[in-house]
Amino acid sequence: GENVEQHPSTLSVQEGDSAVIKCTYSDSASNYFPWYKQELGKGPQLIIDIRSNVGEKKDQRIAVTLNKTAKHFSLHITETQPEDSAVYFCALGYGYGQNFVFGPGTRLSVLP
Amino acid sequence: NAGVTQTPKFRVLKTGQSMTLLCAQDMNHEYMYWYRQDPGMGLRLIHYSVGEGTTAKGEVPDGYNVSRLKKQNFLLGLESAAPSQTSVYFCASSYPTDNPSRTQYFGPGTRLLVL
């Protein structure tokens, strides 16, 4: 099946700095690339997603970039705040909506 | 609008015992999913359902069974629990396509400990 690698596994940044998390994949059939944020004791929550026909999408301090040729996509968080501290998961969607594969996660710590 | 709810929140089982985890959603979603989350391994799909009365295996289905008798409910069963099934279980639901969205909505999770 499809496999997705996610790096780094942990990331610490100072408040106000930027954070970047990268995921790479192997199946060129993937057509949907969401990012989820999971806070302690809660379920994952979608923060941004991108389709395969778009190269970049931005929502306030969060952006996702997709390079289909190189098969990687990245989450960018600017002006980080302590409340951004959480575990972030990338995921791949392929097929008709029921097929998802999640990355292993990145624990982001924003230091005040 | 409660979204996705899961029952129970926490459970301790002895090896060999059985139990059922209940997931309910009030968003009229067609698709529902059961995942397990283990440290360092992200979320792995156990079973999923694309509609009432239908279920299918995911990446790690062994030791689990599911049923979707009603559109809003998706049950995950463990017939004979094993310590390897100690995990946090998440249910999710979604629409089937981009219209309106493929976003998966997750429940708060069920923490299961098998002794």
Average pLDDT, chain B: 93
Q: Which pLDDT band holds residue B85 (cuts at 50, 70, 90)?
A: very high
C-alpha B3/C-alpha B7 separation (Å) is 13
Across the interface, whether the CB atoms of A42 and B109 are under 8 A apart is answered yes
A29 touches B at CB < 8 Å: no
The pLDDT of A56-82, averaged and rounded, is: 95
- Tell me the backbone φ, ψ of residue B85, rounded to 5 degrees: -95, 5
All residues of chain A having their beta carbon less than 8 Å from the beta carbon of residue B102 are: 32, 34, 49, 93, 97
Residue B50 per-residue DSSP state: E
Amino acid identity of residue A83, one-letter, is: E
C-alpha to C-alpha distance for A43 and A49, rounded to whole angstroms: 17
Helix (H) or strand (E) holding A30: none
Closest CB from A45, A96, A101 relative to B106 = A45
Q: B44 vs chain A: nearest CA distance in angstroms? A: 7
B99 contact partners, CB below 8 Å, separation of at least 6: none
- In this complex, which of B35, B42, B106 lies closest to A104 when CB atoms are compared? B42
Spell out which chain B residues touch chain A, with contact meaning CB-CB distance below 8 angstroms. 4, 31, 33, 35, 40-45, 48, 50, 56, 59, 90, 92, 94-98, 102-109
User: How far apart (Å, rounded) are the C-alpha atoms in residues B81 and B66?
Assistant: 15
Cβ-defined contact of A104 to B94 (cutoff 8 Å): no
pLDDT for the residue numbered A27: 80
3-state secondary structure (DSSP) of residue B1: coil
Q: How many CB pairs under 8 A join A and B?
A: 63
Give the whole-angstrom CA distance, residue B48 versus residue B20: 16
Chain A residues near residue B108 by CB distance under 8 angstroms:
41-43
Q: Which residues contact A57 (CB under 8 A, 6 or more apart)?
A: A48, A49, A50, A63, A64
The pLDDT value recorded for residue B79 is 92
Residues of B in contact with A44 (CB under 8 A): 43, 90, 104, 106
Give phi and psi for A94, each to the nearest 5: -150, 165
Q: Please give the average per-residue pLDDT across B5-23, as a whole number.
A: 97
pLDDT band at B98 (very low <50, low <70, confident <90, very high): low
Q: How far is CA B109 from CA A44, A64, B6, B19, in A?
A: 10, 27, 6, 15
Q: What is the pLDDT of residue A30?
A: 84
**Closest C-alpha to B32, from B60, B65, B73, B77:** B73
Q: How confident is the model at residue B111 (pLDDT cuts 50, 70, 90)?
A: very high
